[in-house]
Amino acid sequence: MNLEKRIKDLRRELHALKAAFMASGTQINLFTKTLAYNTKENLVNEGGFTYDDQERVVVTFNTAEGVNTLAKLEISGNYAMVPVVRRVPYSGGAKWVVSSTPRYSGGWQATSYNFVVQSLVNGTVSAKMIWE
């Protein structure tokens, strides 16, 4: 390959990369999925005495390609208690554990969550109690 041809190829590659570089800052793909979920009672029996323990919900985002993804979980709900949220190791998307103390209003009540997952890769979101 002569040098002028090499320079022409390099310029073309540089131009494409610059276009991609500019796009990365302004046009990152972002997929948003939402899910409503009600917790179930975590009733513990300790030597015959029963009480409600913390409720842990596992929120799973599975990507269509089965790859992990950078993702963010936003939460709202019908409960003033701020849940503790941590992302947990997973292969195939993203997974979080959401913990909160049980809600009472004339006895135990389910906590109603609205989960919003924003991800760089498309996928589906699901939720279940950690013991299920």
Q: What is the DSSP string of the chain?
A: --HHHHHHHHHHHHHHHHHHHHHHHH----EEEEEEEE----EEEETTEEEE--EEEEEEEEETT-----EEEEEEES--SPPEEEE---SSEEEEEEEEPPEESSSEEPPEEEEEEEESS-EEEEEEETT-
Residues 1-40 vs another protein: string with x where CB under 8 A?
A: --x--xx--xx-xx--xx-xx-xx---xx----------x
107 sits in the region (left: phi over 0; alpha: psi -120 to 50; else beta) called: left
Residue 58 touching another protein (CB under 8 A): no
Residue 104 touching another protein (CB under 8 A): no
Residue 81 touching another protein (CB under 8 A): no
Residue 45 touching another protein (CB under 8 A): yes
Considering the complex, what minimum distance in angstroms separates the CB of residue 112 from another protein?
19
Single out the residue of 46, 80, 104, 107 in contact with another protein (rule: CB under 8 A): 46
Chain residues that interact with another protein, rule: CB under 8 A: 3, 6-7, 10-11, 13-14, 17-18, 20-21, 23-24, 28-29, 40, 42-47, 53-56, 65-71, 84, 86-91, 94-95, 97, 99, 120-121, 129-131
